[in-house]
Copies of this chain bind each other. A is one copy, B any other.
């Protein structure tokens, strides 16, 4: 035990959960906000910005890259990271459709 039983759920449910997981850490939120603001940056910028160790920052970048929501290209000695607008849009739309319309009345119990 200990591992999520993904086979019990639909692909969509696992997708949404994985998207949520990708942004379920304040450092990763901070990275994404920084990228949205600055458009692009290198790992070193984020080490200064976040206050986490280089290894830790790199690890968070890796997770965001694995999730597809950011992309990085080699820029000389450093790596330039930016939002992947296509995947970002997917996130936006999936969360949007998930939170769409709840019964507005509310008092169910």
Interface of A toward B, CB cutoff 8 Å: 4-6, 8-10, 13-14, 16-17, 20-21, 23-30, 32-33, 36, 39-40, 50-52, 71-73, 75, 80-86, 88-89, 91-92, 95-96, 98-99, 102-106, 108-109
A20-B20, A29-B9, A108-B39 known; A99-B103 Cβ under 8 A: no
Q: Which residues of B are found within 8 Å of A5, using beta-carbon distances?
A: 27, 51-52
Distance to closest chain B CB from A72 (angstroms) = 7
The distance in angstroms between the C-alpha atoms of A16 and B29, with both chains bound, is 8
Q: Indicate if the CB atoms of A103 and B83 lie closer than 8 Å.
A: yes
The residue of chain B having its C-beta at the shortest distance from the C-beta of A89 within the complex is B102
Q: Indicate if the CB atoms of B36 and A9 lie closer than 8 Å.
A: no
The distance in angstroms between the C-alpha atoms of A25 and B25, with both chains bound, is 14
A102-B88, A103-B39, A103-B83 known; A9-B24 Cβ under 8 A: no
The distance in angstroms between the C-alpha atoms of A109 and B41, with both chains bound, is 9
